[in-house]
Amino acid sequence: MPRFSLISSLFTLACIAVVFKALYVMTVERDEWNEKRKDHTYREHTINPLRGDILACDGRILATMMPLYDVTIDFCTYERNPKTIQKDQHRRDTIYLNHQDEIVAGMHRLFPDIDTAKYHKYLDSCFYARGRGCPIYPQQVSSLTFPKGQKRNKLLSYLELCELRKLPLFKRRSSVRATEVKVRNTPHGRLAGLTIGLFRDSARYGMEKAYDSILRGKPGRYHNEKVRDKIVPVMDQAVENGLDIMTTLDIDMQDLCHQTLVDEMIRLSADSGNCILMDVTNGDVKAIVSLRKRKSGQGYEEGVNYSISGMQMPGSVFKPCSFMVAMDDGRIKYTDGVTIRSREYQFSSGNRIKDSHGFEGGPLWFNVRQILEHSLNTGTSIMIWEKYKDDPQAFIDGVERVGLTANLKLPLRAYHKPYIASPNDKRRYWSNIFDLPRLSIGYSSQMPPINIVNFYAGIANGGKLYYPRFVKGYMKNGQIVKELPPQVLRQQMAKPEVIANIQDALRAVVQTGTAHGAASKHVAFSGKTGTANMSQGGVKYNNVTFVGYFPSDQPRYALIVNMQKPSPAYGNMCAHAFRIIAERIMALELGQRNTLQMQEGSSQVPYLQAGNIMATSRSLQSLGIPFVCEVPKPANNRPVWGRIQTDAGQPHLRSTETTDSIVPDVTGYGLRDAVFRLESMGLRVQVKGQGTVVLQSLAAGTPIKPGARITLTLSNERGKKNAPKKPASSNPPAAAPAAAPSKPTPAKPANADSAV
């Protein structure tokens, strides 16, 4: 009892001390401990968000993040235990020495560009040096040139990595190390590369740069805490992946414009060129191409986005704007004209305007339609000079009013606002008698091609002008979270009758004017030729253009084709490329429309494979196709095997299940259903070919022996043996237009677009 009393007293005193200390900390030392808690820091870790995709107008991927793998091989063991070091190293060495030829042959089979002799020598050098972290696919053993940033080791895809791990030695996880690297991938190569942009560690240009804040998302943060002797990550801020952006670009149209422009630039020996295709009804940019000749002189590449940054004199494509302003101001009527006495007209001693054709037959009278039809410099300059010589600023204000020189506010940073000479511009001297006549025919101004094609899109749309649109909206998990609707730039560019007059003149340009040689038998289009003589860095060149819209009656698309080339150069040279693109675009649309009509008007029952008829019933139900299912739905959603028969145009689903002790009849099954059913019965399945099962090596009704092998022959494997060989050549698709002539059609001086 004395000992018990002593122990009880000690425990009581200890409890009192603990309670007293707790009260002391909670009251007297409270502020001190609160300050210490604020000083306590922990290490935060960052979770990088997944960058959003850039999509085409139909949802196809233009740019996405793809995981690649930097694979290395270790020929030296990482074991630390002295007892296992020698054993593990001996195992590695034995596998390599016994299978080195098999390894080299396997790598050459996976990557045919690998030189087997070089690779054999490379592996031997790494092996005898007991190398660690040796690149498994270095550039020195390949005949290919690796992309920038992959000089040391080529990055492999996941499928390539899986095949690689099947080779001897590479099967060992401790021998091969794969580090995941996120790489921005463009499935369509450099198609529209300048517009899509470049992302390599950071956004460099194009849409990648313009919409970087939308695509990159927001990183997350977490820290580790120790809970019951375990390190547990605690999320401080959740990661937000980047949004996808849906562009207005059409991959098929982009590829079509790109290929046509390349072919025509080769035919005309152009130094550079660009092409823009727009939807006139909403301003959507469907295709945009900018090409220049490679430094080697062979072929063309995308170098600078001239379509939105190329500040060039528009030349004669400016003339419709000049007459639109004058007719909208009421200073000129469509029936007005001027008498032209010679091919040159001298406004002053230093300013002569000339045309490329003469008037030996005497003075000729031309109205507005004929001046635009034959692209007469003298007629345009004389008429505009006479009406605006006392108030040139009114003409310049009119050009801004109709929207040709408006700031389009493009999201792409390479865009430059058009420049037009003005009396109010203090940076240069304005000469009324020099600048006004030249300005009316496309000189004394500079603008990118996108401003020109956008102006003509407004003409095609009856005067309603939109801002060019590159992005439709932002998406997340396939759902649109923000839509970017089209924005109107000018509700009405000019009076409706003025727009109708300009449309009539542009139609005449192709029918009987400077572009009549490029008229199409399949697609009626309207437009204007343009030629400007320019120089840069002391080098003279010609800027030739054809811009217009098609079809003429119900315009859908506006298109500009622009090239820079040495003489001879005329705007009607680009009209040939315009015609090819217009015909191919309409053929492409016609094919798509016919496909949709066939799908909408089809009443045929789709082809249905035998197999899991419950899965088939769910598919038919989701597609809205009526059917009859003669099998009750199982309670546990287990597969019900059966076949489909079509009675009176309606599919009937019937069960054909057998016992699990005999081989079922799987002919007519899809591969997935056949393999699942047979392997669940204990059979081992081998497959030949692709498609639907047409033969099985074990006949239906045969007793099943567990582990027995059954070979399934699929439809295309059987057809290979009996299918007749196809002829070497086949007819071209109906949508493809006639091939371009091998030589350019010589331009007649009398109808050639004039150049000052």
CATH 3.40.710.10 maps onto the chain at: 251-595
Tokens describing residue 216: 């990159």
518 phi/psi in degrees, rounded to 5: -105, 5
Percent of the chain clearing pLDDT 70 (strictly above): 89
pLDDT tier for residue 635 given thresholds of 50, 70 and 90: low
| 3-state secondary structure (DSSP) of residue 27 | helix
- Residue 648 has a pLDDT of 63
pLDDT at 536 over 60: yes
Judge whether residue 567 has pLDDT over 90: no
What pLDDT sits at residue 41?
60
The full length of the chain comes to: 756
Q: What is the pLDDT of residues 195-213, one digit of tens each?
A: 999 998 889 999 999 999 9
pLDDT score for 283: 96
For residue range 734-746, what is the model confidence (pLDDT) as tens digits? 333 333 333 333 3
Q: Roughly what angle, to the nearest 10 degrees, separates helices 432-440 and 392-402?
A: 30
pLDDT, greater one: 62 or 621: 62
Q: Where in the chain is the domain with CATH 3.90.1310.10?
A: 42-60+193-247
pLDDT tops 70 at residue 605: no
Whole-Å CA distances, 702 to 611, 682, 686: 19, 14, 17
Phi-psi group of 169: left, alpha or beta (phi > 0 → left; psi -120 to 50 → alpha; rest → beta): left
Q: Which CATH class is domain 251-595?
A: alpha beta
* Residues in Cβ contact with 189 at an 8 Å cutoff, skipping those fewer than 6 apart: none
Where, residue-wise, is CATH 3.30.10.20 in the chain? 611-720
Query: Does position 747 have pLDDT exceeding 70, yes or no?
Result: no
Give the mean pLDDT of 145-164. 80
pLDDT at residue 94 is higher than 70: yes
Task: Give tens-digit pLDDT for 479-502.
Answer: 899 999 999 999 999 999 999 999
Give 363's Cβ-side CA count (13 Å radius). 7
Confidence label for 38 from pLDDT (cuts 50, 70 and 90): low
Predicted TM-score (pTM) of the model is: 0.72
Residue 371 CA to residue 376 CA, distance in Å, equals 5
Tell whether domain 611-720 is in CATH 3.30.10.20.
yes
* DSSP string over 561-625: EEEEEPSS--THHHHHHHHHHHHHHHHHHHHHHHHHHHHHH--PPPP--BEEHHHHHHHHHHHT-
- For residue 407, the model assigns a pLDDT of 94
Residue 655 has pLDDT above 90, yes or no: no
Evaluate if residue 106 carries a pLDDT over 50.
Answer: yes
Q: Average pLDDT, stretch 630-648?
A: 74
The confidence band for 520, taking pLDDT boundaries of 50, 70 and 90, is: very high
Average pLDDT over the chain, rounded to whole?
85
CATH classification of 42-60+193-247, choosing from 3.40.630.30, 3.90.1310.10, 3.10.105.10, 3.40.50.300? 3.90.1310.10
More confident residue, 636 or 448: 448
